[in-house]
Amino acid sequence: CETFPLAIQLPFKGKVRWQDFDQDLYVGATVVRPGQDPYARNKFNQVESDKLRMDRAVPDTRHDQYVVPLSTRLIWLHTTVLVLKKSPPQLVKEIILVDDYSDNPEDGALLGKIEKVRVLRNDRREGLMRSRVRGADAATAPVLTFLDSHCECNDHWLGGRVAEDKTRVVSPIIDVINMDNFQYVGASADLKGGFDWNLVFKWDYMTLDQRRARQGNPIAPIKTPMIAGGLFVMDKEYFEQLGKYDMMMDVWGGENLEISFRVWQCGGSLEIIPCSRVGHVFRKQHPYTFPGGSGTVFASIQSRLEMKKRLGCKPFKWYLENVYPELRVPDHQDIAFGALQQGGNCLDTLGHFTDGVVGVYECHNAGGNQEWALTKDKSVKHMDLCLTVVDRTAGSLIRLQGCRENDSRQKWEQIESNSKLRHVGSNLCLDSRSARMGGLTVEVCSLSLNQQWKFTLNLQS
Ligand SMILES: [Mn+2]
């Protein structure tokens, strides 16, 4: 991992060094009072966050994993302070905080007293994408680093990868800051960013071959189909040249997929840099509201399509084949696709192959053993294995067998508004009641919750 010499810089007139900023005064204004929900405001535990010091030590998680319970109020102050503390000063020209019309203008304004910090406040709620573009437009340095407000930069997180080639867009390995107790946990270095067909970002574990290939050089940059989107570095000119973000995008979400597709298809690349680690508070829900409902955020993409044409961008098919060949693409033979879900559990091959039984396992949204397709010829398929009813009596175990055309033992259909799977030849339903005692079975169709199954994606509805 590269390191940079640390030059000493003095703060500008009228600004304070981060070490001299009065954290207690700043944090004290928004403490959670007894009886208030600590998750209400930010969807993470603010009581725990407020206990931390603004410059808490962050464990060095590079090439290793460990958990260290440590002590900051993670929102702006902490993120800002750690950028200053963990970066060679000559690499940080300024920190631009965009306050997207938060309820208290002081939150941002006070931070503007810290060295290098500039605060821009929107005069109405603009959402993530337009706020980022506003910050980027205001920036005077040649390279942009986007960071969410709830991050902790680790040692040596900033490097020169983008300066060498401005078409590289790079992201750190994103360590996990627990939203309940704010423990900092190192993330695996064997992950790439991807997405599922609900267009939700997910992490993909590298294949065995990919991991083997990296053994000799574990710190080599990892080409990734997708970046998580909250934390990345991009050349400012290149960001502008590629069309920044779609200014018609509202609120939050989806922009990470869009910019990832655009970078790859329009001639750039995305990389995860294993030497760079930044912690991030992953929340179960985002704290934003969608005025009028999330269905109202769709807008015309005509001008974006024209822009991609102008830039000579490659088609999405090229991206799927060359950048993300691991992704299984639902085809015109599929009626339904993805995980087959029952509550929090999913139909799982359990790693079994021909003649093995199937079971359920906690849904992991990573495809793999939980990826299924119901096809037009009525088979329930995982790769080239099909769910097979060997014995057509209630209570008999279902097995995986190679898919065969016209084998009635492998024919299934969705019934009752696609909530159940019925084996056509026996009229029995896929059932999980014996999942823990041997595997999934077929049973007389009933109202039992053990027979309720839902595909991630129904392509006919
Ligand atoms: Mn975030």
For residue 67, is pLDDT > 60?
A: no
From 322, 342, 363, the end of a domain falls on: 322
More confident of the two residues 127 and 69: 127
Phi, psi angle pair for 298, to nearest 5°: -75, 135
Please check whether residues 444 and 370 belong to one and the same domain: yes
Give which of 149, 152, 180, 153 is closest to 51, Cα–Cα. 180
**Is residue 4 one of the residues assigned to a domain?**
no
- CA of 279 from ligand 1 middle (Å) equals 10
Please check whether residues 315 and 263 belong to one and the same domain: yes
For residue 287, is pLDDT > 90?
A: no
Q: What is the rounded CA–CA span in Å between residue 109 and residue 107?
A: 6
Percent of the chain at pLDDT exceeding 70: 93
- CA of 455 from ligand 1 middle (Å) equals 28
- CA of 281 from ligand 1 middle (Å) equals 6
| DSSP SS3 for 18 | helix
Please check whether residues 303 and 345 belong to one and the same domain: no
pLDDT tens profile 346-378: 999 999 999 999 999 999 887 889 999 999 999
Q: Where residue 72 falls among pLDDT bands split at 50, 70, 90?
A: very low
Please check whether residues 154 and 34 belong to one and the same domain: yes
**Is residue 328 one of the residues assigned to a domain?**
no
**Is residue 106 one of the residues assigned to a domain?**
yes
**Is residue 72 one of the residues assigned to a domain?**
yes
Q: Where residue 62 falls among pLDDT bands split at 50, 70, 90?
A: low
Please check whether residues 254 and 350 belong to one and the same domain: no
Please check whether residues 221 and 121 belong to one and the same domain: yes
For residue 319, is pLDDT > 70?
A: yes
Number of domains in the chain: 2
Please check whether residues 51 and 175 belong to one and the same domain: yes
Please check whether residues 317 and 398 belong to one and the same domain: no
pLDDT at 42: 72
**Is residue 258 one of the residues assigned to a domain?**
yes
Q: What CATH code is carried by the domain that includes residue 231?
A: 3.90.550.10
- CA of 147 from ligand 1 middle (Å) equals 8
For residue 55, is pLDDT > 80?
A: no
More confident of the two residues 5 and 190: 190
Q: What CATH code is carried by the domain that includes residue 451?
A: 2.80.10.50
Q: What is the rounded CA–CA span in Å between residue 377 and residue 369?
A: 22
- CA of 118 from ligand 1 middle (Å) equals 21
Q: Compute the average pLDDT of residues 231-260.
A: 95
- CA of 42 from ligand 1 middle (Å) equals 11
pLDDT at 285: 76
From 322, 347, 368, the end of a domain falls on: 322
- CA of 341 from ligand 1 middle (Å) equals 27
Q: What is the rounded CA–CA span in Å between residue 183 and residue 201?
A: 23
From 322, 352, 382, the end of a domain falls on: 322
Please check whether residues 121 and 191 belong to one and the same domain: yes
pLDDT at 65: 33
- CA of 312 from ligand 1 middle (Å) equals 32
**Is residue 10 one of the residues assigned to a domain?**
no
| Helix (H) or strand (E) segment spanning residue 297 | none
- CA of 230 from ligand 1 middle (Å) equals 6
Q: Compute the average pLDDT of residues 397-405.
A: 95
Residue ranges making up the domain that contains 36 = 18-322
**Is residue 316 one of the residues assigned to a domain?**
yes
For residue 159, is pLDDT > 80?
A: yes
**Is residue 2 one of the residues assigned to a domain?**
no
Please check whether residues 87 and 151 belong to one and the same domain: yes
Give which of 374, 330, 340, 378 is closest to 455, Cα–Cα. 340
pLDDT at 81: 87
Please check whether residues 137 and 207 belong to one and the same domain: yes
- CA of 223 from ligand 1 middle (Å) equals 22
For residue 223, is pLDDT > 60?
A: yes
Does the predicted model carry a pTM greater than 0.85?
no
**How does DSSP assign 319-352, residue by residue?**
HHHHT-TTSPPP-TTEEEEEEEEETTEEEE-TT-
> Strands 95-99, 117-121: parallel, antiparallel or unpaired by DSSP?
parallel
Please check whether residues 408 and 271 belong to one and the same domain: no
Considering the chain, what is the average pLDDT of its residues? 88
